[in-house]
């Protein structure tokens, strides 16, 4: 088995990230629901939604696309919206 690296980020209470303003790096805005898409067992997409001001539906706030190599290793994460 190859090297495993774990990165954990924590934010003290009151910090902008802890308050839900955004996720550093990908700038994910405040949201209250996510949808995940899987392809061949791999997570390939994440959509972040916030409750719409109107009574119908939700607003898409951000979308991530995850890409993998032939061995199933995650190679990139891109924000498309």
Edge-to-edge, what's the strand order for the sheet holding 42-51? 33-39, 42-51, 58-68, 74-79
Please give the pLDDT value at position 29. 87
Q: Does position 51 have pLDDT exceeding 70, yes or no?
A: yes
Quick one: tokens of 76? 């990139």
Question: Does residue 50 contact residue 60 with C-beta atoms inside 8 Å?
Answer: no
- To the nearest whole number, what is the mean pLDDT of the chain? 77
Question: Does residue 47 contact residue 60 with C-beta atoms inside 8 Å?
Answer: yes
Q: What digits encode the pLDDT tens for the residues 6-36?
A: 444 555 554 544 445 555 678 888 888 899 9
Lowest mean per-residue pLDDT among 11-15, 25-29, 50-54, 67-71: 11-15
Confidence (pTM): 0.66
């Amino acid at each position: 088995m190859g090297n495993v690296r774990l990165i954990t980020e924590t934010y003290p209470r009151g910090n902008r990230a802890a308050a839900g303003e955004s996720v550093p790096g990908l700038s994910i805005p405040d949201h209250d629901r996510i949808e995940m898409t899987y392809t061949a067992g791999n997570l390939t997409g994440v959509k972040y939604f916030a409750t719409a001001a109107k009574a119908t539906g939700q607003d898409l706030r951000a979308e991530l696309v995850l890409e993998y190599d032939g061995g199933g290793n995650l190679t990139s994460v891109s924000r498309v919206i």
